[in-house]
Amino acid sequence: MGFELNKSYSGFRLTKKEEITELKSLGLFFEHDVTGAELLVLENDDDNKVFSATFRTPPENDTGIAHILEHSVLCGSKNFPVKEPFVELMKGSLQTFLNAMTFPDKTMYPVASRNQKDFYNLMNVYLDAVFYPNISEETFKQEGWHYELNNPEDEIVYKGVVLNEMKGEFSSPESCIDRQLAHSLFPSTPYGFESGGDPVSIPDLSYEEFKAFHRKHYHPSNSRLFLYGDGDTLSYLKYLQDQYLKDFERMEVDTSVPHQRSFRKAKRKTLTYPISSHESLEKKTFVLVGYKLDKAVNHEHCLGFSILSHLLLGTSASPLRKALITSELGSEVIGGGFDDNRADTIFAVGLKGTDPEKEDEVLALIDSTLHGLVSNGIEEDMIRSAVNSIDFRLREGNFGGFPKGIVYNIQALGSWLYDKNPFSHLRFEKVMRKIKKRMHKGYFEDLIIRFLIENKHRSILVAVPKPGLAKKLEAKERKILKLVKQKLSSDDIDQLIAETKKLQELQLAPDSPEALSTLPSLEIEDVPKEIEKYPLEIKHHGDTKILFHELFTNDIAYIQIGFNSHSVPTEMIS
């Protein structure tokens, strides 16, 4: 149907409407009249339908509260009181995607399915999970952290899914240096904290803080809902209103993300990471430099720097990658290049497998390579190749195992999460044309000068191995837990043992048949019997048969040529 601007549909007022030709989609942007919940709809003929609920969740400390909550809301809810809805849904669903993700400033709950009934089932379970999770104290202990004590004579230990996960993350030097880079570049913002949770700080989180975070952040007034595909938008609007949003009022909540004030000079920090005492220290140092760039809402900047990042690092022939690898100063390039997952974007590059005394050489090589590209000019073929690669990637929309709708949702959040036009990052044709017009007129050289060479807002991180560090950290944790136990009375110890046993019994207990029956599932009659048919036209050119499939491919032509190899000797076929 034809939606009219500023008109309400099932409690949702349409505020923006645009044809997004790049995605062959009609973009509709609604605001819920009562709660202020925002909804972005991309209508198209893709039957791989996507729904997601995203909440802005900037951290205020290192306890990993957003990460723990992401795990916990999917451990049972008001209408679906089962312990692991993920696992159970897999058994009776045709889902093409089912997950949840914690980002540095947002938490996202996406689902996808090509079956309409299944899609509604998944939406129902996820909406119930985010708005009405059970999040009992036992769930908090299981997913976050708790003290475990099985016998009075035992030592107390920390346990918890997220706690253990983050201990693994913090034992990886690559993970640590990447995380510390963001903290170093944005110290006065939420990005100065660890959204996943620092293992040292996770036990500082209380159950009361955990519940309060959900009340504040997991409210429709702080939500950004997303729908994609060939479903009926009016039916979706009615469903969202009647099943969930009608029960909420508007809530004033400030989860805005501030920008970091620019540095006057570069920062430098040395990190240590654990290795075993018998390992050599040689060639185990990491050197990384990262730069704060422009705001993520600037689409031209993001697209331009994506191209520049590919040009500098994307292939074995890329000049910065090639210079670093052929220098033999280290074993592998690190940093990942351009990153737009925060309000301010980042460019990072460095080397692993080097030594502390080579830090200056690594940094000087990066600097001289960038200066050389500016003074000599970047080769035109290299620029054209990088531009074409990113252009092709955007047009093709092939995102591996990810349904397209989820990737488009993440792209839209690049502006939408920061209260700008949700359509801006989905459109690339106009911006790409603008870049192509200037690409051989110093466009990328200017980006290098402004954001890399002359940019004082940078951080240099050096991660060096430290034998025995893991044992030292373990000893420190045992000392803390020993002091905790010393402060407990005998009654307290008995209570802790009882709580440990209760949690273990709950974890082992199966869901009741009554609880399992609440989860929706598909019946055999809900599965279409017909296979999907693609358009096929058979043409002939001389003796050659041509199979032509007319599909939307965003101006990309795909050609596959097959030759009859019957006459080729077997030994010549490899």
Is the model more confident about 192 or about 565?
A: 192
The Cα 142–Cα 74 span in angstroms is 12
SS3 38: strand
Let me know if 148 is a catalytic residue: no
- What does the block give as tokens for 426? 């989905």
Q: Among 22, 38, 70, 194, which one carries the catalytic annotation? A: 70
Cα–Cα distance list, 559 to 291, 327, 388, 517, 556 (Å): 41, 40, 18, 49, 10
Closest by alpha carbon to 186, among 104, 246, 247?
A: 104
Over residues 528-553, the mean pLDDT reads 83
Determine the pLDDT at residue 549: 86
The Cα 335–Cα 443 span in angstroms is 23
What does residue 459 show for φ and ψ, rounded to 5 degrees?
-130, 135
- What does the block give as tokens for 21? 């030709």
* Residue 449 burial (10 A CB sphere; 0-12, 13-18, 19+): middle
Q: Among 143, 148, 194, 359, which one carries the catalytic annotation? A: 143
The Cα 524–Cα 387 span in angstroms is 48
**pLDDT per residue over 120-156, tens digit each?**
999 999 999 999 999 999 999 999 999 999 999 999 9
How does residue 381 score in pLDDT terms, banded at 50, 70 and 90? very high
How does residue 565 score in pLDDT terms, banded at 50, 70 and 90? confident
Let me know if 153 is a catalytic residue: no
Q: Which CATH superfamily is domain 267-466 in?
A: Metalloenzyme, LuxS/M16 peptidase-like (3.30.830.10)
**pLDDT per residue over 399-419, tens digit each?**
777 899 999 999 999 999 999
**pLDDT per residue over 252-278, tens digit each?**
999 999 999 999 999 999 999 999 888
Question: Any idea where the domains of the chain sit in the sequence?
Answer: 267-466, 537-572
* Residue 194 burial (10 A CB sphere; 0-12, 13-18, 19+): buried
**Cβ partners under 8 Å of residue 194, min gap 6:** 59, 62, 64, 179, 183, 201
Over residues 438-452, the mean pLDDT reads 97
